[in-house]
């Protein structure tokens, strides 16, 4: 794929981690959802670069063009290693879903590397799902991945993209196609039933009040209620937090309403 030739590599202690580095100015790091890769932010990267920011869009370990894990790891440690390698930061971390958890974990564990955080569809990596529909997706997704039934898993994954209040017929087919292509590329790197080496950070909520940087949470108004409630709780708990909703979207507002998402993001960056 031509995408791979556009990426830089950071040699971590457990394989190379890939990232796209564009623009110049204050640093913004984009962190993607689970199963996909940095291309989720194709509508954000050019807007940020045009506004005068340096943008690093990373492929989280085990995703996209980054190495799979062969030993225990934490997202925060990988991201800190990348920023230290680049001698860059403090950075604004922007994460969607899994990427949001990686961003908040990094702000908790490495506050000196973080200037502000923007979370979408996530808070911390020890989130406990309460919505039965979300719990069902997590359980079914894990079962299908373990069995190796990729076709059935992809259907479950795309239904989850729509959120609990819509069907996939309500989503732009081009978005579904892009997400499916990215997810299949990531899954091709793995084998059914392989060990998950990721180590979630535990007991993060007692440390959230010490995140002393500006925080913006941006959730789709049609996303699962427990995710929205968790984001609003996070924004209330930090010293400087604000929560907003993007109407008509679910778990990927940056893809469904890119212009609105970009405006919220750039307006927030302008206050820093």
Residues 6+ apart with CB under 8 A from 48: 23, 28, 55, 262, 265, 266
83 domain-assigned: yes
172 domain-assigned: no
Pairing of β 8-12 and β 215-220: unpaired
DSSP state of 222: T
State the pLDDT at residue 54. 97
Whether this prediction's pTM lies above 0.85 is answered by: yes
Residues 156-190: pLDDT tens digits? 999 989 988 899 999 999 999 999 999 999 999 99
Alpha-carbon gap, residue 57 to 48, rounded angstroms: 11
Quote the domain boundaries for residue 116.
Answer: 2-128+196-270
The CATH number of residue 220's host domain is: 3.40.50.1820
214 domain-assigned: yes
97 domain-assigned: yes
State the pLDDT at residue 2. 52
Our count of domains for the chain comes to: 1
State the pLDDT at residue 179. 97
175 domain-assigned: no
Could you give the dihedral angle defined by the CA atoms of residues 19, 20, 26 and 29, in that order, rounded to the nearest 10 degrees? -50
* % of the chain with per-residue pLDDT over 90: 82
Q: Could you tell me the two tokens for 30? A: 């984009």
State the pLDDT at residue 138. 79
Where does residue 180 rank: exposed (0-12), middle (13-18), buried (19+ CB within 10 A)?
middle
156 domain-assigned: no
164 domain-assigned: no
State the pLDDT at residue 80. 97
101 domain-assigned: yes
Residues 36-59: pLDDT tens digits? 999 999 999 999 999 999 999 999
Alpha-carbon gap, residue 257 to 223, rounded angstroms: 14
pLDDT classification of 131: cutoffs 50, 70, 90: confident
């Amino acid at each position: 794929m031509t995408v791979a030739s556009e990426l830089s590599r950071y040699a971590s202690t457990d394989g190379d981690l890939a990232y796209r580095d564009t623009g110049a100015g204050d640093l913004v790091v984009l962190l993607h959802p689970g199963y996909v890769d940095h291309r989720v932010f194709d509508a954000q990267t050019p807007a940020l670069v045009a506004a005068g920011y340096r943008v690093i869009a990373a492929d989280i370990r085990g995703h996209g063009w980054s190495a799979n894990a062969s030993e225990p790891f934490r997202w925060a440690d990988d991201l800190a290693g990348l920023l230290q390698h680049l001698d860059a930061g403090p950075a604004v971390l922007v994460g969607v879903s899994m990427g949001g958890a990686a961003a908040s974990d990094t702000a908790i564990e490495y506050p000196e590397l973080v200037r502000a955080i923007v979370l979408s569809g996530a808070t911390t990596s020890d989130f406990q799902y309460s919505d039965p529909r979300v719990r069902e997706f997590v359980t079914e997704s894990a079962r299908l991945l373990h069995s190796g039934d990729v076709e059935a898993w992809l259907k479950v994954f795309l239904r989850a993209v729509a959120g609990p209040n819509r069907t996939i017929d309500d989503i732009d087919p081009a978005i579904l196609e892009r997400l499916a292509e990215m997810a299949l590329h990531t899954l091709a790197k793995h084998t059914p039933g392989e060990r998950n080496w990721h180590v979630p950070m535990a007991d993060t909520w007692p440390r959230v009040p010490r995140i002393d940087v500006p925080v913006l949470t941006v959730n789709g108004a049609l996303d699962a209620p427990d995710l929205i409630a968790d984001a609003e709780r996070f924004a209330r708990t930090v010293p400087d937090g604000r929560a907003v909703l993007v109407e008509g979207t679910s778990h990927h507002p940056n893809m469904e309403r890119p212009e609105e998402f970009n405006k919220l993001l750039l307006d927030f960056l302008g206050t820093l």
